[in-house]
Amino acid sequence: MSRDNDVPAFEGHKPQARRLAEKALDASRAGDDTTADALFAEADRLDPEAVADVLGEDVATGQRRTSRNPAPDRDASSPEQAGIGRTAAPGQGFRTWSARGTAGAPRTPPRHPTALAIALEVNGQTHALTVDVRTTLLDALRDHLGLSGTKKGCALGQCGACTVLMDGKRVNACLTLAVMADSHPITTIEGLAEDGALHPVQQAFVEHDAFQCGYCTSGQIMSAVGLLTEGRGDSDAEIREQMSGNLCRCGAYANIVDAIRAAKEAV
Amino acid sequence: MLAFGYAQAKDLPMGIELLRDTPAALPIAGGTDIIQLLQEGVIAPSELVDINLLPLRGIEPAGEGLRIGALTRLSEIADDARVKARFPVLARALEETASPQVRNMATAAGNLLQRTRCLYFRDATVPCNKREPGSGCPAMDGENRMNAIFGGSSSCIAAYPGDMANALLVLDAELEVQGPDGGRRLAVADLHREPGDTPHLETTLRPSEIITAIHLPATPRSANSHYLKLRDRASFEWALVSVAVALETKDGEIRSARVAAGAVGTTPWRLPLVERRLERGRLDEAAAVAAAEAATHGANPRSQNAFKVKLLRAAVQRVLLMAGGLA
Ligand SMILES: Cc1cc2nc3c(=O)[nH]c(=O)nc-3n(C[C@H](O)[C@H](O)[C@H](O)COP(=O)(O)OP(=O)(O)OC[C@H]3O[C@@H](n4cnc5c(N)ncnc54)[C@H](O)[C@@H]3O)c2cc1C
Ligand code: FES
Ligand code: FES
């Protein structure tokens, strides 16, 4: 194992790819695109990363591209010193795959409250309740207040079954913490009908048979109410685009669009 | 989901202090990415610091440009008449982001800091160098269809998935940031870091810093700017490839150009060669084809994402034709 120190480590095709990329860049600067493309193509074949490096340096000298080489004051001297949302110290902020099944990665215990008393204003009524701060608005509505009209599909913001209005705007209740909804007026499907009369959007859904199993329906209706309040939905294409956050596994989309168009004309 | 503490910041100094007090804390704004990550067990902060009471919401004039508060919702930015007229690439990128519900909740700063959609990062049962440094990267030879073709390293090829950042790159936007040592400006181009051998470090934000605003300077390019997003379905989907472009033209000649691509790099990705090619002539079909040709030098596709090389060239060509009124 006594390799001489002066033997350079084998770097593969990197040096040659770099040289070609630099020549290509010169050609590009001189306006000779054909030569540049041919040289870049050859360099790409040898080592695309070297080409990307040369291009990155090109940007760094003139126009910035990314912080491939962050300036020293921005650089992280140790993982604890920087990172996304300052959480990246391994084992500090993130639960890790290796921690599964063990007691969990070392992590400071919470210092702030893990349960809170809140007031939820739902459909014009104020409810006082105490929740674990992990509770989503969706779970608070369904499991704490017994308002099961709002549905849980994915719990990840992807299906729209949990759509409610908060401060008059449509939102996903599954991506909202109940503690963050404290004191913000909320409307759910249970709060739409007035004096026993269905809301025009509810009526239109019934008249146009805009559902099959009905699981997505309260979310569809709440989203449609939001859409009409926003003043959108002037064409069928716009209705489809603006309802894209609500999936229907039964595929009742055609009738849903009909119902929304009719409701828009009615109000 | 592990238990965490919840604290509400009443003002900015208090927010910074709360973050400094508890190193494993995260600020929460719209919550739309954080709550996904909590539900999937990908992150386990010790506390969430709710910053929604901070007066950081709204869009106001700043010089010739605009200043967008960090807590402004995506729908508020997309619907703003000034943004639509003077920074159309931004309005378009946001109209094509997520769903109406998510856009009503998600904030400007949260959007820039959203984390990758790499399947292995989002699955806490498998190794991932970004989640658990040193555990390995199954994406290298695994399901890498959505991963990056630029800026990857031997540790990580996770793509930056967001839309807004690409638009902000071509608008030369800057961030206002406040932290324990005071305030500073940071170009959006300097926010994200390539993975190198520290893929868990994704941004250049320092501990306890809070983004307070985004500045959009008025440039001779900003009003002539366009966004094209290509995805697996027509709406409500992250990009396979997206391209933002902003052009300054005079008498039919392109004076200056900015072009950036999304979902192809480990960070939002500027395309300097494409810019240079554009900057020396008229925008016609031949020029668009020649410029697009230069978009993919240095690309390093993996087993399942070589299609992004072709798709990126096609997208650059298409968005340039759109910009030139030719498509
Ligand atoms: C179903 C779905 C589809 C989506 N589709 C798209 C898409 O097509 N394109 C796209 O670009 N995005 C998409 N997204 C992502 C979405 O845009 C982001 O989740 C959202 O923008 C994050 O903003 P937020 O305010 O909710 O952030 P949060 O979840 O609150 O926070 C995100 C991160 O930012 C940090 N943070 C927030 N604000 C600040 C601040 N002021 N200072 C410092 N740190 C801060 C948090 O600590 C956290 O690390 C989608 C999301 C969902 C749920
Ligand atoms: S349950 Fe909220 S979007 Fe699916
Ligand atoms: S009616 Fe069954 S999911 Fe929509």
Q: In this complex, is the C-beta atom of B304 within 8 Å of any C-beta atom belonging to chain A?
A: no
A40 Cβ contact list (under 8 Å, min separation 6): A20, A21, A24, A51, B294, B297, B298
Asked if the Cβ–Cβ distance from B273 to A28 is below 8 Å, we say yes
Q: In this complex, is the C-beta atom of B6 within 8 Å of any C-beta atom belonging to chain A?
A: yes
The B residues from 250 to 289 touching A (CB cutoff 8 Å) are: 265, 267-270, 272-273, 275-277, 280
The label of the residue with tokens 């449509």 reads: A170
Residue A73: pLDDT over 50: no
**How does pLDDT run across B55-107, given as a tens digit for each residue?**
999 999 999 999 999 999 999 999 999 999 999 999 999 999 999 999 999 99
Which residues in chain A have Cβ-Cβ distances shorter than 8 Å to B36?
156-157, 175
Q: Domains plus CATH for chain B?
A: 225-323 (3.30.390.50)
Tell me the ipTM for this assembly: 0.96
Cα(B160)–Cα(A51) distance, integer angstroms: 20
Asked if the Cβ–Cβ distance from A136 to B35 is below 8 Å, we say yes
- Locate the domains of chain A by residue range: 13-96, 115-191, 200-266
Pocket test for ligand 1, best of B35, B111, B115 (most atoms within 8 A of CB): B111
CA-based nearest distance B24→chain A, Å? 5
- On the 0-12 / 13-18 / 19+ scale of CB atoms within 10 A, B183 is exposed
pLDDT for position A76: 38
> Which chain B residue shows the shortest CA-CA distance from A176?
B31
Higher pLDDT, B124 or A83: B124
Cα(B95)–Cα(B228) distance, integer angstroms: 11
Closest CA to B212 of B21, B50, B48, B57: B57
Number of Cβ pairs < 8 A linking chain A and chain B: 291
Cα(A69) to centroid of ligand 2, in Å?
Answer: 40
Cα(B1)–Cα(A63) distance, integer angstroms: 43
Cα(A33)–Cα(A25) distance, integer angstroms: 10
Read off the pLDDT band of B161 (50, 70, 90). very high
Cα(A203) to centroid of ligand 3, in Å?
Answer: 17
B59-62: strand order across its sheet: B59-62, B65-69, B210-216, B174-179, B182-187
Cα(B75) to centroid of ligand 1, in Å?
Answer: 13
Q: Is A247's C-beta closer than 6 angstroms to any atom of ligand 3?
A: no
Which residues in chain B have Cβ-Cβ distances shorter than 8 Å to A246?
99
Q: Are B162 and B112 in contact (CB under 8 A)?
A: yes
Average pLDDT over residues B174-194: 97
Identity of the residue in A67, A79, A160 whose CB atom sits nearest the CB atom of B192: A67
B13 Cβ contact list (under 8 Å, min separation 6): none
Q: In this complex, is the C-beta atom of B124 within 8 Å of any C-beta atom belonging to chain A?
A: yes
- On the 0-12 / 13-18 / 19+ scale of CB atoms within 10 A, A39 is buried
> Which chain A residue shows the shortest CA-CA distance from B126?
A97
Cα(B179)–Cα(A239) distance, integer angstroms: 43
Q: Is B34's C-beta closer than 6 angstroms to any atom of ligand 1?
A: yes
Cα(A162)–Cα(A138) distance, integer angstroms: 7
- On the 0-12 / 13-18 / 19+ scale of CB atoms within 10 A, A62 is exposed
> Which chain A residue shows the shortest CA-CA distance from B172?
A64
Asked if the Cβ–Cβ distance from A82 to B201 is below 8 Å, we say yes
In CATH terms, the fold of domain A115-191 is Ubiquitin-like (UB roll) (3.10.20)
Identity of the residue in B41, B47, B280 whose CB atom sits nearest the CB atom of A112: B47
> Which chain B residue shows the shortest CA-CA distance from A240?
B235
**How does pLDDT run across B125-151, given as a tens digit for each residue?**
999 999 999 999 999 999 999 999 999
**How does pLDDT run across B248-292, given as a tens digit for each residue?**
999 889 999 999 999 999 999 999 999 999 997 899 999 999 999
Identity of the residue in B101, B234, B275 whose CB atom sits nearest the CB atom of A223: B101
Residue B173: pLDDT over 60: yes
Q: What CATH class does A200-266 carry?
A: mainly alpha
Q: For testing the chain B interface, which of A26, A53, A57, A94 should be mutated: the one with the most B CBs within 10 Å?
A: A94
**How does pLDDT run across A171-222, given as a tens digit for each residue?**
999 999 999 999 999 999 999 999 999 999 999 999 999 999 999 999 999 9
Q: Helix (H, G, I), strand (E, B), or coil: what is residue B36?
A: helix
The two three-digit tokens of residue A37, written as one number = 């493309």
Q: Is B163's C-beta closer than 6 angstroms to any atom of ligand 1?
A: yes
pLDDT for position B116: 97
Q: For testing the chain A interface, which of B1, B4, B6, B48 should be mutated: the one with the most A CBs within 10 Å?
A: B6
A209 Cβ contact list (under 8 Å, min separation 6): A252, A255
The per-residue pLDDT of chain B, averaged, comes to 96
- The amino acid at residue B100 is P
> Which chain A residue shows the shortest CA-CA distance from B116?
A84
Q: Are A79 and B133 in contact (CB under 8 A)?
A: yes
Cα(B223)–Cα(B247) distance, integer angstroms: 8
Q: What is the pTM of this model?
A: 0.91
